[in-house]
Structure 1
Amino acid sequence: MNTANAAGADWSQTRERSNRFALRFISWVAVHGGRRAARVLLWPITAYFLLFAAPARRHSRRYLARALGRTPTWRDQWRHFHHFASTVLDRVYFLRDMPQCFDLQVEGAEPLRQVLDAGQGAFLVGAHIGSFEALAAAGRAQGCSNIAMVMYPDNARMINAALAAIAPGFQMRIIALGQRGATLAIRDWLDGGGLVGLLADRSLPGAAQRETVHRLPFLGHEAPFAEGPFRLAQLLRRPVIFMAGLYNGGRAYRVRFEPLADFSTVPADAHGRDEQLRAAVHAYAARLESLCREAPYNWFNFHDFWLEDGGVAAARDAGAGAGRPGDRTG
């Protein structure tokens, strides 16, 4: 089994360019000016990142070349950043419970309903693709309001600060990994019939020293995928549902739920458990790859996902004072 050291893709140390003042300003325009007026802000925001965010631009170009199967044009990159900025703006309306602003289509709701009816809880595993807020809105429409997000502590603090700026009255249940009692808190939440959401397309730097990181074919090149989220589901013997909230432009979002793995029954032998985990990680990578080809401008992982950058490129971009879009945390 191949493993990879994720230290080269230290996304957790990259400085965010967003701040509370900017988020509050965007939120004020969005609420008081309406979505049509607020979308005018997307043009200068997109232009700013396309012109000045050198690392994000490099990672976008590399990813788009592989997802599109051709050399991306500046229009492709503009569309990529514009999609990202659009989903960030639309958080305001989703978090303020204004779904009437959107054409929200849901696919695969039946597996989610079956899990909710069984009252056993489940893991919703997604990626930094599209809009998690659209997913949460679709979940509420299906009668599920008890969703907890599991994330690293630093990311939990960042997202709480962002939520306070965008929607002060909105409360999100967050369980921070790495803290005492986190696994028990997740188990108790699941036992209460809740859903636990994780974004599994990133590994914390140094993860290979703590867990197995599989190197799998992804858009024509090997990429690291950590098995941690799936090992947790296996430990707690819960089903895993893949989730994605794709932005289709304008007012259109397409939310998708799809069964990915079922750990309700776990093999007794270690080899069988490892094979079960391996199959789940492979299925996740394949599902994510398929979505990236289907909706290439929706994947917002603006960092060195394939672990291909060397020190020279990183130093050059740092010297230029470049930054990246404020990635969604998870």
Structure 2
Amino acid sequence: MTVKHWSKMQERGNQLGMQILLLSYRLLGRKGLWIVLFPVLLYLFLTGKTTRIASLQFLTQVNHYNGINKYASWRDSFRHFRSFANSAFDKIDAWLGRIKQSDIVYTNETLYKQLDEQCQGAVFIGSHLGNLEVCRALSQHRSTKRINVLVFTHHAVEFNKIIKRINPAVSVNLIQVTDLGPDIAILLKEKVEQGEIVVIVGDRTSSTSAGRVIECDFLGKPAPFSQGPFILAALLDCPVFFLFCLKERSAQKGLFYRVVFEKYADNLVLPRKTRQHALQLVISDYAARLTYYTALYPYQWFNFYDFWQNDHTVIRDQKKGK
């Protein structure tokens, strides 16, 4: 049996849904928006068989990894969907400046300050765990560095257009790519040399080419991770950081965001003779950190497809998939 690649999965209710989200937020606020959105979310949950099954499989795998001998329930999966919807509200709050500095707890904040003071470019490798959008918005008030975010879907570009309507001052540069080719590497090299930041996620496989992956352990099972982001980081010859933004709750602070900023290397080196081995090591390190935080924050995992699928058997051409 063949399955579609994540990039070919239909983005349901994309344009109209985002417009309704923005209008309702402006008119009703966050609490009122939930009244509008809840039936829509319930509909998407009940009719979205593929995403619902992926959610159940993922949450069950997390349970097993955490030593819990329990299959995820529909209630667990719906909670997962609700968390995803909440993350969209968080993005809007961040760009509107409604998330205060007191709502943020930083891990290794001095590393970012040093990077900023040195006027040095860098690569941040993120993921679809947590909410990188919050990090991007907050950085507008903490640094003069220009941020360049590589995105692989039209949905991300459309969302950014809507965000610009909310806050025209947004200066994040979205670069939509289908593949990490030489032209993109040259463009990003220039940006890094000018002291800018390049942000790319490391948990999505190539949308055009099968098999350009390294299999690494993720939550107790081998999963395919794209080589592209890590090869690109090596080509850019600059400091490399892992970045996560995770939502938490405590009795003292209530809801807050934890920004995790981990320096991985001053620069990635992939020797020609041992390139595959070096790639295996760095991607395994990334997968290990992703596993660690995913096991702690499973409902903030927003890859709603079979993350462990065999990359060679996934249909990337929409026509072939019909």
Q: TM-score range by the shorter chain?
A: 0.7 to 0.9
Greater displacement, 192-201 / 45-54: 45-54
Q: Which residue of structure 2 lines up, in the alignment, with residue 202 of structure 1?
A: 204
* Secondary structure class of the residue paired with 1:248: strand
Question: Are the counterparts in 2 of residues 11 and 303 from structure 1 also a CA contact under 8 Å?
Answer: yes
Count of residue pairs brought into register by the alignment: 300
Q: Which residue of structure 2 lines up, in the alignment, with residue 51 of structure 1?
A: 46
Question: Are the counterparts in 2 of residues 135 and 245 from structure 1 also a CA contact under 8 Å?
Answer: yes
Q: CA deviation digits over 1:181-234, x for unaligned, max 9?
A: 32121011111111100011011245345x3x1111211211101121111111
**Cα drift, residue 163 of structure 1:** 2.3
Q: Which residue of structure 2 lines up, in the alignment, with residue 260 of structure 1?
A: 264
Letter of the 1:223 partner, please give it.
Answer: A
Q: Which residue of structure 1 lines up, in the alignment, with residue 318 of structure 2?
A: none
Question: Are the counterparts in 2 of residues 150 and 174 from structure 1 also a CA contact under 8 Å?
Answer: yes
Q: CA deviation digits over 1:100-134, x for unaligned, max 9?
A: 49823222212222222222211110111111211
Structure 2 gaps of 5+ residues are 65-69, 315-320
Question: Are the counterparts in 2 of residues 138 and 255 from structure 1 also a CA contact under 8 Å?
Answer: no
Q: Which residue of structure 1 lines up, in the alignment, with residue 6 of structure 2?
A: 11
**Cα drift, residue 20 of structure 1:** 2.6
Q: Which residue of structure 2 lines up, in the alignment, with residue 132 of structure 1?
A: 132
Distance in 2 separating the partners of 1:237 and 1:159: 27
Is 1:229 matched up with 2:224?
no
* 2:56 aligns with one of 40, 43, 61: 61
Question: Are the counterparts in 2 of residues 83 and 247 from structure 1 also a CA contact under 8 Å?
Answer: no
Structure 1 gaps of 5+ residues are 1-6, 312-317, 320-330
Distance in 1 separating the partners of 2:20 and 2:37: 13
**Cα drift, residue 277 of structure 1:** 2.7
Q: CA deviation digits over 1:21-50, x for unaligned, max 9?
A: 321221122123222222334432432232
Alpha carbons of structure 1 residues 145 and 161: separation in structure 2 relative to 1, 3 Å:
same
Question: Are the counterparts in 1 of residues 157 and 176 from structure 2 also a CA contact under 8 Å?
Answer: no
TM-score (norm 2): 0.83
Q: Which residue of structure 1 lines up, in the alignment, with residue 195 of structure 2?
A: 193
Distance in 2 separating the partners of 1:308 and 1:190: 34
Distance in 1 separating the partners of 2:92 and 2:116: 27
Alpha carbons of structure 1 residues 308 and 50: separation in structure 2 relative to 1, 3 Å:
farther
Distance in 2 separating the partners of 1:259 and 1:302: 28
Letter of the 1:10 partner, please give it.
Answer: H
Letter of the 1:57 partner, please give it.
Answer: R
Is 1:151 matched up with 2:148?
no
Q: How does 1:61-100 map to 2 (within 5 A)?
A: 61-69=56-64, 70-100=70-100
* Secondary structure class of the residue paired with 2:273: helix
* Secondary structure class of the residue paired with 1:196: strand
Letter of the 1:28 partner, please give it.
Answer: L
Question: Are the counterparts in 1 of residues 136 and 172 from structure 2 also a CA contact under 8 Å?
Answer: no
Distance in 2 separating the partners of 1:206 and 1:25: 32
Question: Are the counterparts in 2 of residues 101 and 251 from structure 1 also a CA contact under 8 Å?
Answer: no
* Secondary structure class of the residue paired with 1:279: helix
Q: Which residue of structure 2 lines up, in the alignment, with residue 183 of structure 1?
A: 185
RMSD: 2.8
Question: Are the counterparts in 2 of residues 246 and 255 from structure 1 also a CA contact under 8 Å?
Answer: yes
Distance in 1 separating the partners of 2:112 and 2:276: 26
**Cα drift, residue 171 of structure 1:** 4.8
Q: Which residue of structure 2 lines up, in the alignment, with residue 238 of structure 1?
A: 238
Greater displacement, 129-138 / 280-289: 129-138
Question: Are the counterparts in 2 of residues 42 and 82 from structure 1 also a CA contact under 8 Å?
Answer: no
Distance in 1 separating the partners of 2:44 and 2:265: 37
Q: How does 1:301-312 map to 2 (within 5 A)?
A: 301-307=303-309
* Secondary structure class of the residue paired with 1:271: coil
TM-score (norm 1): 0.81
Alpha carbons of structure 1 residues 238 and 275: separation in structure 2 relative to 1, 3 Å:
farther
Q: CA deviation digits over 1:156-175, x for unaligned, max 9?
A: x3322222234423453023
Q: CA deviation digits over 1:58-107, x for unaligned, max 9?
A: 00001001112231122211211111000112222222333249823222
Is 1:160 matched up with 2:162?
no
Distance in 1 separating the partners of 2:75 and 2:101: 27
Question: Are the counterparts in 2 of residues 9 and 305 from structure 1 also a CA contact under 8 Å?
Answer: no
Distance in 2 separating the partners of 1:44 and 1:262: 48
Alpha carbons of structure 1 residues 150 and 166: separation in structure 2 relative to 1, 3 Å:
closer
